[in-house]
Amino acid sequence: MKSLSALIGLGALALAAPVGAQQMTPQFFIEGLGGAVVPTFEIADVIETGGGFGAAIGYRVGPRWVLMGEFDYGMHQDKATGSADVTTLHYMGKVGYSLTGPRDRGWEAIVNLGAGAVSFDFEGDAERRDYFAINAGAKVAYNFNPMLALVLSPQGDIAFGKKAELSTTNAWVWPFTAGLRVSF
């Protein structure tokens, strides 16, 4: 009878192991974000801080590494008159490293570096100006469960522009946003 009980116990463990292995942290996530887009240094002499919104997608390639794509849209006023609209569009591909590792509940912190483009669209100009840009930032998330998190996303984007067009060769524009992350 003891051997039958042991056999049933081993069978139950064997069946439970694959079920437990399937309850991993989801690999994909999307984020909806909103907040402020803050220009600094010389570009701050040209455009004001404005509101913004964005979205991000991510894929966890391992327990600590994350590949991300992010888009942010900033709405600014020109500094000279305060009346002309200026929009900034940020397109970034990023590699992130989770300092905490993925969490089903509680806090997670990811630092990221990336590259892409930042576009400046000045009201009244015939064309939009697109510039190569680099990115550094973080994602700080509070996970309510494995599928839903509140996320803060401070990012720093540096666009390498033309002084004649932007009054600087390196426009520092910082999207500071918060929103929700849905993982699947």
- What are 48-90's pLDDT values in tens digits? 999 999 999 999 999 999 999 999 999 999 998 888 899 999 9
Q: What is the CA 92 to chain-centroid distance, rounded?
A: 9
Of 75, 77, 62, 54, which Cα lies nearest the Cα of 139? 54
Q: What is the pLDDT of residue 6?
A: 46
Q: Is the pLDDT of residue 125 over 80?
A: yes
Q: Is the pLDDT of residue 2 over 90?
A: no
Q: Is the pLDDT of residue 163 over 90?
A: yes
Upper half-sphere CA count for residue 123 (Cβ side, 13 Å): 13
Return the structure tokens found at 111: 């630092």
C-alpha 93/C-alpha 78 separation (Å) is: 28
Query: What number of H helices and E strands is found in the chain?
Result: 2, 8
25 — pLDDT class (breaks 50, 70, 90): confident
26 — pLDDT class (breaks 50, 70, 90): confident
CATH number of 26-183: 2.40.160.20
Report the pLDDT averaged over residues 11-17.
Answer: 44
What distance, in Å, lies between the first and last C-alpha atoms of the chain? 45
- What are 127-148's pLDDT values in tens digits? 999 999 999 999 999 999 999 9
Residue extents of the structural domains in the chain = 26-183
Q: Is the pLDDT of residue 41 over 60?
A: yes
pTM for this model (two decimals)? 0.83
Upper half-sphere CA count for residue 9 (Cβ side, 13 Å): 6
